[in-house]
Amino acid sequence: MVFKIAWRNIGRNKRRTAITAASIFFAVLFSVASESLNRGVFDGMIDSTVSFYVGYIQVLKKGYWEDRTLEESFEMDEKLTSVLNNVDGVDDVVPRLESFALASFGKITKSALVIGIDPQKEDALTGLAGRLIKGGTYLQKDDKEVMITSGLAEKLNISVNDTIILISQGYHGVNAANRYRVKGLISFGSPELNSKLIYLPLSAAQDFYGAENLITSLVLDVKDKNTSDLALQSLEKSIDYQTYDIIDWKDMMPEIIKMKEIKESSNKIVMFVLYLIIAFGVFGVILMMTKERKFEFGVLLSIGMSRVKLAFTIWLETVFLGFVGAIFGLVISYGLMYYLSVNPIVVTGDMAETYAKFGIEPLLPASVDLDIFITQALNVFVLTTLLAIYPCLAIWKMKAVDAMRA
Residues making contact with other proteins (CB under 8 A): 1, 4-5, 8-9, 11-12, 295-296, 299-307, 309, 399-401, 404
Cβ partners under 8 Å of residue 355, min gap 6: 347, 361, 362
226-253 burial by CB neighbour count: b if 16+ within 10 A, else e?
ebbeebbeebeeebeeeebbbbbbbebb
Instruction: Name the residue nearer to other proteins (CB basis): 351 or 401.
Output: 401
CA distance 394 to 271: 29
Amino acid letter, 36: S
Instruction: Name the residue nearer to other proteins (CB basis): 243 or 302.
Output: 302
Would you say 220 and 124 are in contact if contact means Cβ atoms under 8 Å apart? Answer: no
Instruction: Name the residue nearer to other proteins (CB basis): 212 or 402.
Output: 402
How many CA atoms lie less than 13 Å away from 56 in the CB half-sphere?
21
User: CA–CA distance from 85 to each of 72, 79, 142, 217, 264 (Å)?
Assistant: 23, 10, 24, 15, 35
Instruction: Name the residue nearer to other proteins (CB basis): 7 or 280.
Output: 7
Query: Smallest gap, in angstroms, from Cβ of residue 386 to other proteins?
Result: 25
Would you say 406 and 298 are in contact if contact means Cβ atoms under 8 Å apart? Answer: yes
CA distance 279 to 152: 55
CA distance 212 to 76: 10
Query: Smallest gap, in angstroms, from Cβ of residue 298 to other proteins?
Result: 8
3-class SS of residue 220: strand
How many CA atoms lie less than 13 Å away from 198 in the CB half-sphere?
32
CA distance 364 to 343: 9
Query: Smallest gap, in angstroms, from Cβ of residue 294 to other proteins?
Result: 13
Angle at 275 between CA 269 and CA 280, to 5 degrees: 130
Query: Smallest gap, in angstroms, from Cβ of residue 319 to other proteins?
Result: 17
Query: Smallest gap, in angstroms, from Cβ of residue 13 to other proteins?
Result: 9
Instruction: Name the residue nearer to other proteins (CB basis): 50 or 300.
Output: 300
Residue 350 CB neighbour total at 10 angstroms: 8
Cβ partners under 8 Å of residue 350, min gap 6: none
Query: Smallest gap, in angstroms, from Cβ of residue 255 to other proteins?
Result: 59
Between strands 244-248 and 163-169, the pairing is unpaired
Query: Smallest gap, in angstroms, from Cβ of residue 307 to other proteins?
Result: 7
